[in-house]
Amino acid sequence: MSAGEANALTLKREIDWFRALLETRITLYFQEPGGSGEIRHITPPSLEGDGSEYARTVTRFGLGFDERVILILALLPHTAPHELDTLFIRNRNLDRGFTEFGGWKGNSHGGFLPTCETAAFILAGDDLKKRFEIIRLFEADHVFTNQGILRIESSSGNEPLFSGALLITADYLSRFTTGSSHKPGFSSCFPARLITTPLAWSDLVLGPEVLEEILTLTAWLEHSRVIMEEWGLASVVKPGYRGLFYGPPGTGKTLTATLIGASAGVDVYRIDLSMVVSKYIGETEKNLASVFDQAQNRNWILFFDEADALFGRRTQTSSSNDRYANQEVSYLLQRVEDFPGMVILATNLKANIDEAFARRFQSSVYFPLPDAEQRLRLWRGVLGKGYPLGDDVDLPSLAEEHEIPGGAIANVARYGAIRALRRGDRAVTQEDLLKGISRELMKEGRTI
């Protein structure tokens, strides 16, 4: 049985159970004939031996009766929206819906969308004591929030406590339906891109001291649970790991971050700073919060390339703009420090990073320009099988005489191939590669 089929069978039983609960609550609330008993007398379906993702989640977090009601309520708009149509009943005296049913209206969805008020009505009816008990299920330290299962979205901070929309997160919606974890796509709501590479560690040319630092990061990803939980460091150090990669462009910072993720089997998301940084007060924090909030309980690496654009030094406050800029940096520092996963910042100049961040890095890794021996390995790696080198090409001399990083060597290889094909040649010559090197050096104001 596929994961989707297992989820469908489990959710069908859960929806049937919820339907009976809702019918009973409506009957009791309006004191209709036959309205007796208590909704908690309606036993939820057994999940024993159930291998669906829904059942595993309920079992793993020990979700009880009330939690299961709220969870299936949040799922219904996506799985069986018609089951909530009953809550469209109108109050004839006021010619409007019942306030106690809660609910909100979507832009295109025609069905009833639940709020926390809807959950409170189903679970508590007009029992005020029970209504107060339900509040704990929506607090920040409850498993619904701290594990990223549900989120409560309010349009205004001045709205009543239970007025927030009851929403299941995209990740758990995907798990409970298709059985796979959700990978968000790049958008204004999630300004980050999943980065991958076809390369392996053997393609990365770094010195032994750099590799030693990199192994520290990979070891943390592999053994963090043992270190924090079994060895007791959770009580004295903050969760997560923060690393700084710095050095000239093209020296392998991004590739290294990607390979760290690949070796640990975790996704690496590169934050698009052009979508994050805003000139409007509060917008940068809001944009970044959307990334951290979605990544909070996911085993991701967040990678900030050219990080000094976002994590630059704070300045003395001579104007309101300076004050807001410093507040922004302080906010970023707090979010990075509280993030339970791995955050890697990359910059060309370490001096541009605010000192408060630098002090909180567990690893600070310098990526120097490769030496002649390393450059030769890079040349041979880039111009490997299939690349048509002419007989006059002298890779050792290119490596010895021209101090350029691996990223630039890749650019030279591409330019040399284009130049050869433009003149109708099937082999790249020494002159083609030298011309490409000259172009790369010109970007830095240097010449051959």
Nearest to 301, CA basis, from 339, 327, 349, 329: 339
Check residue 187 and give its pLDDT: 76
Average pLDDT over residues 35-48: 86
pLDDT at 278: 73
pLDDT band (50, 70, 90) for residue 105: confident
Mean pLDDT taken over the chain:
89
Confidence of residue 399 (pLDDT cuts 50, 70, 90): very high
Query: Using CA atoms, how far apart are residues 342 and 303, in angstroms rounded to an integer?
Result: 9
pLDDT of residue 447: 80
Residue 206 clears pLDDT 80, i.e. is over it: yes
Q: What is the pLDDT of residue 224?
A: 92
The more confident residue out of 324 and 205 is: 205
Pairing of strands 342-347, 300-304: parallel
The answer to whether 296 and 336 have CB atoms below 8 angstroms apart is no
57/66 Cα distance (integer angstroms): 15
Residues 341-358, mean pLDDT to the nearest whole number? 85
Question: Looking at the predicted structure, is the pLDDT value of residue 319 above 60?
Answer: no
Residue of 345, 333, 335 whose CA lies nearest to 301 = 345
Is-contact 254 346, C-beta < 8 A?
yes
Tokens 């995209």, residue?
170
Q: Please tell me the least confidently modeled range out of 252-256, 301-305, 322-326.
A: 322-326
- Burial call 342-381: b when 16+ CB within 10 Å, e when fewer: bbbbbbbebeebbeebbeebebebebeebeeebbbebbeb
Do residues 354 and 393 lie in contact, with contact meaning Cβ atoms separated by under 8 Å?
Answer: no
Q: Give the CATH class of 192-366.
A: alpha beta
Distance, in Å, from the CA atom of 410 to the CA atom of 205, rounded to the nearest integer, reads 13
Q: Give the model confidence (pLDDT) of 118-131 as tens digits.
A: 999 999 998 999 99
Residue range 155-193, pLDDT digits in tens: 666 788 899 999 999 889 999 999 887 788 777 778 889
Residue 357: pLDDT band (50, 70, 90) is confident
Q: Does domain 372-443 have CATH number 1.10.8.60?
A: yes
Q: What pLDDT, on a 0 to 100 scale, did the predictor assign at position 313?
A: 59
Q: pLDDT at residue 323 above 70?
A: no
Neighbours of 262 (CB within 10 A): 16
Structure tokens that stand for 38 in this block: 């208590």
Lowest-pLDDT choice from 268-282, 336-350, 354-368: 268-282
**How is the chain split into domains, by residue range?**
3-177, 192-366, 372-443
Residue 207 has pLDDT above 70, yes or no: yes
What distance in Å separates the CA atoms of residue 382 and residue 240, rounded to the nearest whole number? 35
| pLDDT tier for residue 301 given thresholds of 50, 70 and 90 | very high
**pLDDT at residue 382 is higher than 60:** yes
Does the pLDDT at position 274 exceed 60?
Answer: yes
CB 83 within 8 A of CB 22: yes
Helix (H, G, I), strand (E, B) or coil at 167: strand
pLDDT at 410 over 80: yes
- In this predicted structure, the answer to whether residue 325 has a pLDDT above a threshold of 80 is no
